[in-house]
Amino acid sequence: MSDFFQNGRIGTLHNLGDRPIEELEAELLEWSKQKPMCLVLPCLYSELEGPAMENIVDELSKVPFLDEIIIGLDRADEEQYKKAKKFFARLPQKHSILWNDGPRLKAVDKVLDEVGLAPQQLGKGRNVWYCLGYALAKGRARAVALHDCDIVTYKRDIVAKLFYPIAHPTFNYMFCKGYYYRAAGGKLNGRVSRLLVSPLVRALQKVCGHNDYLDFIDSFRYALAGEFSMSMDVVSSIRIPSDWGLEIGVLSEVNRRYSDERVCQVDIADAYDHKHQDLSADDLDAGLSKMSTDISKSFFRKLAIKGEVFTPEVFRTLKASYYRLALDLIDRYHNDAVINGMTLDRNKEEETVEQFTQCIMRAGEQFLNDPTEKPFMANWSRVLSAVPDVYQRLLSAVEADEDDI
């Protein structure tokens, strides 16, 4: 029962596993009358043809409490958009598809670009940003949740557990992060979290000294989880990154705006597995190499905002501290794997750490060479101020695509 101690900065909602999902859904259905809930699904068209999405849609079709589902569709031509409409048509809930590559939404993006507020980088962050803007434009939802579309072990429990802390009428949470144990197929997963984020946060604490923000990040059991929920009041006020630093960037914004008492994490799955990125050792602008570089920069930017001074010497010290801490953690992961009858390739683990070490130094160089980089997209309050009819433009573009194509 030690797992149920509340000894972290934020509230942790554990999963006993003995409450029927129907019981949770019945409560959420009742609460949805006062607090409509919207689910955002950022996806690539290729994921519709992958091993996970068919089951995700089947499971979501059974969820009774959702007011709407918003699907952000990336990398799709017109024919693929038509196929996506048919693919999602069996959802019984109201649902909308943002065809991000279509001419109408590109026209909206051009309007924002003319005032310097359009996202400058393609990817998940941009997709999520437009989906959240569309949810604000609809004006119905009071709570929103988001999860990835490549979860091969997906069950609808994930949606209920994500929304529960935000929707409960007596809870005080504004933001909730999902977490889960990253193991499948007899091996430990979650390489970026295990081998980059955990040792990097602790190395930064050693090099920079005790830091409230780093302590906050270290409170999350899986800071890189792509599953989270929040009040719509949060949506309009936070800025999110357009690069691979999305998850850390969102946590940074939540930490900036809300006290720990308004933030929690919830156990959403007994088993979780999804598509795994390649390490991309030969291409630092792809796969886990690109991801780890962006994540590292997101930490450096946040700490700089808080007054931390970075120099080449600091990054060299950080590199040495990170490398030693990461190697020590591999010993712990190995022991954890062995006692659970799993395998852990120590050579690959150390190769990954060596690659991440290079990415940390690369992130440091990029940070020093371009301190004016603006990775965060504007919050929607600012966008609405600059383009007062932006919500109507979004609504009209999505509606026209649905009607005409």
Residue the block writes with tokens 């009819």: 389
Amino acid at site 395: L
Q: DSSP string spanning 42-62?
A: EEEHHHHTSSSHHHHHHHHTT
The predicted structure's pLDDT at residue 4:
54
Q: How far is CA 76 from CA 45, 100, 226, in A?
A: 6, 8, 22
The predicted structure's pLDDT at residue 279:
67
Nearest to 151 by CA among 130, 182, 126, 191: 182
The predicted structure's pLDDT at residue 288:
85
The predicted structure's pLDDT at residue 375:
72
The predicted structure's pLDDT at residue 255:
95
Q: pTM of the full predicted structure?
A: 0.93
Helix extents (H) in 187-309 = 191-192, 198-208, 212-218, 232-235, 246-257, 287-305
The predicted structure's pLDDT at residue 188:
83
The predicted structure's pLDDT at residue 190:
87
d(CA 212, CA 203): 14
- Using DSSP's 3-state secondary structure scheme, residue 96 falls into strand
Low-confidence ranges of the chain (pLDDT < 70): 1-7, 16-17, 184, 274-284, 371-372
